[in-house]
Chains A and B, each alone.
Chain A
Amino acid sequence: MTKVLRQIALVSGKDLRIEARSRQTLGLVVVLGVLIVVVLGLGLGPQQVASGMAATAVLWVAYLFGGVLCFEKTMAVERHDGALAGLMLAPIDRGVIYAGKLISNLALMVALALVVTPVAVVMFGFDLSASPFGFAAIMAGGFVGFAAVGTLFAAAVSSTRLQGGLLAMVVFPLSLPLVIASTQMMARLFGEGEPLGSVGLTVLIAFDAVYLVVSWLVFELILEP
């Protein structure tokens, strides 16, 4: 067990070290996220912005687009110089590669969220103080599911030439239940002041569980140099 954990840490550590040294993806993604928030803030106008509820939708847009870029980049790293073949030849389970990639993607997304969320909170006057932990829990549930789908399909799609729009096209429709569930929960939590419902959390947890298990099973079939 500890061996597997160490292997996962090695794979994701490698990705994060590359990212820490080049700072390519994170810079791009954070600026993109802030841009999305600003553009939507300008587009919605003062009235809608003041309602406060627009913020969750805006945040999801920023996370979705930023997340897809992260997934693409962490897989694109492996496309250079046959790195993926090297990774596949390493004496580790394919599931470990998946878990490692998933963790590096999640780390990137959390970094993105740490910058973009405060920006949106300030610009949209979104009052987080009602339930900051509820917000964090919903977003964490959302991120795990989204990254699980994204990591799986990034590996499947990245060996085709038309990457850009394609990954978004694959991942966005599949993540819709996450977006619906979390925005509805946010609306209840912050709009009506209800506590976190168990139905909503069940949806998020079910989503995460289904996608983690399916991805773990299928990733092996999909990974080809």
Chain B
Amino acid sequence: MNTLKKKIWTAYWLATAAMFAAAVAMVFAWTPTEATMGTVQKVFYLHMPVAINTFLACMVTFIASIGYLWQRRQVWDDLAASSAKVAVLLCSIVLLTGMIWGHSAWGQWWTWSPRLTFSLVLWLLYVAYLVIRPSIESRQRRALVSSVYGVVAFLDVPLVYLSVKLMPDIHPSSIALAPEMKLTLLSCFVPVTMLAAGLIAARFHLQRAETLSMQEADDPSLDVIPVRPAGGLT
């Protein structure tokens, strides 16, 4: 990485950290408390942006998986793996903050309500993605299986959403927000999205470096030539 890139990268992270800190301060010091749910509603300002970013990260995995199936380049697989990792992290946060909120609001850590089930299934889908990757040894095979999985898992998301709709619901479907609350939500959304994007990028750089060093150790041309095993018929 050259110096300019490095500077921009540092500035990006500093800006994200500053905005994040400002947003958290804003939530606790400035935003009015919600009338019916009380202080615990403040969880919402992190819960929702993180949930939206979970979807975005899943979408990056989906697009990268399609990219791999189309072009057979290792870069796509690295991107898919990185964003899947971040998606799992974000989804864990959604589940945890949701559980804390639920414990305060309903007195239970977990209920089998549609939204909770939906997040749990989404989390399981992408945890499985991360778990199956290391158990496939051949790099091309791993990339192939996980990219098909990445595509199918993302198509699963609306189906999971439809199927959990059959269950009885207690989750708030929409919350009326005062203007200050909307502003707070937005000011939380921006740093969370930047953070998620930064994490995917950082993880991707790392993954890229790992792949390149492994790859060039056994075959320097693998990244350039579309991968189609040319071996014998068995």
Contact = CB atoms under 8 A, between A and B. Distances in A.
Q: Let me know if chains A and B touch directly in the complex, using CB atoms closer than 8 Å.
A: yes
A218 B125 contact: no
Interface in B140-175: 141, 144-145, 148-149, 151-153, 155-156, 159-160, 162-167
Contact of B166 (A170, A200, A222): A200
Interface residues of A, number: 40
Interface string A190-216: 000000010110110011001100100
Interface string A82-99: 100100000000000000
Contacts of B136: 157, 160, 162, 166
Contact of A180 (B144, B145, B166, B229): B166
A152 interface: yes
Contacts of A224: 229
B162 A206 contact: yes
Contacts of A156: 144-145, 148
A142 to B, nearest CB: 11
Q: How large is the interface on B (under 10, 10 to 19, 20 to 34, 35 or more residues)?
A: 20 to 34
A185 interface: yes
Nearest to B114: A180
A203 B163 contact: yes
Interface string A2-27: 00000000000000000000000000
A217 to B, nearest CB: 9
B177 interface: no
A181 B137 contact: no
B128 A184 contact: no
Interface in A164-195: 166, 169-170, 172-174, 176-178, 180-181, 184-185, 188
Given A185-B166, A206-B162, A221-B144, A180 B117 contact: yes
A174 B153 contact: yes
Contacts of B121: 173, 176-177, 180
A124 interface: no
Contact of B135 (A166, A172, A188, A206): A166
B155 A210 contact: yes
B233 interface: yes
Contacts of A82: 233-234
B3 interface: no
A152 B148 contact: yes
B163 A181 contact: yes
Contacts of B153: 173-174
Given A160-B138, A170-B145, A184 B167 contact: yes
B151 A173 contact: no
Contacts of A160: 135-138, 141, 145
B61 to A, nearest CB: 14
A213 B191 CA distance: 39
The listed residue with most B CB atoms (<10 A of its CB), out of A153, A180, A188, A222, is A180
Contacts of A225: 233-234
Contact of B160 (A85, A161, A176): A176
B69 interface: yes
Nearest to A197: B166
Interface string B60-92: 000000000100000000000000000000000
Contacts of A152: 148, 152
Nearest to B229: A224
Contact of B152 (A149, A161, A197): A149
28 contacts: A85-B233, A153-B149, A156-B144, A160-B136, A160-B145, A161-B137, A169-B128, A169-B132, A170-B132, A173-B125, A173-B128, A174-B152, A174-B153, A176-B156, A176-B160, A177-B159, A180-B167, A181-B166, A188-B166, A199-B165, A199-B166, A203-B159, A203-B162, A206-B159, A210-B155, A214-B151, A214-B155, A225-B234
The 7 closest A-B pairs by CB, nearest first: A181-B163, A184-B166, A85-B233, A177-B163, A177-B159, A180-B163, A173-B128
